[in-house]
Amino acid sequence: MVSDSPDAAVGVLGVPFDGGVSFRRGAAFAPARLRELSTRLAACGDEGTPLNLDVRDYGDVPPDLNWSRIFQTVEERAAGPLQHAQALFLGGDHSVSIPLMRAFDRSVDGSFGVVILDAHPDLFDVYDGHRWSHACTARRALDLEGLDAEHLIFAGLRSIAREEWDFLQAHPSIRYVTAREWWRSGVDAVAHEVVARLQDVRAVYLSLDIDVLDPAFAPGTGYPEGGGPSTRELLELVRALCGALPIKAMDVVEVAPVLDHGDRTSFAALSVIYEAWSATEERWAES
Ligand SMILES: [Mn+2]
């Protein structure tokens, strides 16, 4: 499954950086932990369908205490995985999605969609005095050339600061599905709407902040928020999205192994990744 081939279906890059966090760090340890645990798991979707795709691992972006320089490096290094049919980026905190999405913007010819699965919208313009905080990720996504506000969609939100709330009210074309709406209307309805809204884009970036999950399922993260979906509900949504949308890149961020219990957050992240790949393989087989 791991391959050196430039023809591998998936390219993976680790970004062990958590310098955009203001509170509980630890996400920098996730790429190493996820790789380690991945060798212990069966390579399959969650109904047992074997994964056939090859994965090329581009390693990790090296540490650098200069924030602008490491973000520049992340943006450059992301180009390798983005040449594959699908890229997977392992954070790191959610700020790493800022340079990753910039690289995505450059790699896609035309307009694209961004789906963010997160307990928080990360829509601050500035947080802790910086525009690259992990609380500013979605706001920076809106700076990208290829992303229109109506193609930015959130699911799982349940903690929205007043500034973010005001921004969302002022920008009604941004669709956000709260965790409550997801629970009440059901995963099929959410998936159906997300897919319908992104019908016309050429490519989709899926950003998974693991704190979208209820802390019962993913306690190992900096900002756990109760009332979130279960792993089962997240798997169902990710399967539906990857089965229907041209997802060209995915990131998994905010997994913090040092805050985890029995690696359950890392294992949950891996099962979502495998499910995403399984559904993607099925979509490729059909097209
Ligand atoms: Mn979050």
**What's the token pair of residue 11?**
């390219």
pLDDT bin (cut points 50, 70, 90) of residue 5 is: confident
Give the per-residue pLDDT at 41: 94
Give the per-residue pLDDT at 157: 98
> CA-CA distance, 80 to 193, in Å (whole number)?
32
Distance from Cα 119 to the centre of ligand 1, integer Å: 5
Distance from Cα 209 to the centre of ligand 1, integer Å: 5
pLDDT at 23 over 90: no
pLDDT bin (cut points 50, 70, 90) of residue 3 is: confident
Distance from Cα 108 to the centre of ligand 1, integer Å: 26
**What's the token pair of residue 87?**
């890229």
Distance from Cα 222 to the centre of ligand 1, integer Å: 8
Average confidence (pLDDT) over 181-196: 98
**What's the token pair of residue 36?**
């380690």
Angle at CA of residue 225, ends 223 and 227, nearest 5°: 165
For 133-195, the three-class secondary structure string (H helix, E strand, C coil) is CCCCHHHHHCCCCCEEEEEEEEEEECCCCHHHHHHHHHCCCCEEEEHHHHHHHCHHHHHHHHH
Average confidence (pLDDT) over 193-203: 97
Distance from Cα 211 to the centre of ligand 1, integer Å: 5
Distance from Cα 212 to the centre of ligand 1, integer Å: 6
Q: Which residues on adjacent β-strands are paired with residue 207?
A: 116, 251
Distance from Cα 160 to the centre of ligand 1, integer Å: 10
pLDDT at 22 over 80: no
pLDDT at 199 over 90: yes
Closest CA to 125 of 169, 174, 67, 167: 167
Distance from Cα 18 to the centre of ligand 1, integer Å: 13
pLDDT at 205 over 90: yes
Segment 257-283, tens digit of pLDDT: 999 999 999 999 999 999 999 999 999
pLDDT bin (cut points 50, 70, 90) of residue 75 is: very high
Distance from Cα 223 to the centre of ligand 1, integer Å: 7
Distance from Cα 41 to the centre of ligand 1, integer Å: 26
Give the per-residue pLDDT at 20: 85
pLDDT at 1 over 80: no
Give the per-residue pLDDT at 287: 82
Where along the chain do its domains lie?
A: 10-286
Distance from Cα 284 to the centre of ligand 1, integer Å: 30
Give the per-residue pLDDT at 92: 96
Q: What are phi and psi of 282, to 5 degrees?
A: -65, -40
Q: Which CATH superfamily is domain 10-286 in?
A: Ureohydrolase domain (3.40.800.10)
**What's the token pair of residue 78?**
């992301």
Distance from Cα 50 to the centre of ligand 1, integer Å: 31
Give the per-residue pLDDT at 6: 87
Distance of CA 241 to the CA centre of its chain: 13
Distance from Cα 141 to the centre of ligand 1, integer Å: 15
Average confidence (pLDDT) over 198-219: 98
Residues, CB within 5 angstroms of ligand 1 (ion): 118-120, 209, 211
Segment 32-57, tens digit of pLDDT: 999 999 999 999 999 999 999 999 99
Give the per-residue pLDDT at 2: 85
pTM assigned to the model: 0.97
Query: 110 preceded by cis ω (within 30°)?
Result: no
Distance from Cα 283 to the centre of ligand 1, integer Å: 28
> CA-CA distance, 277 to 171, in Å (whole number)?
33
Distance from Cα 172 to the centre of ligand 1, integer Å: 21
Amino acid letter, residue 274? Y
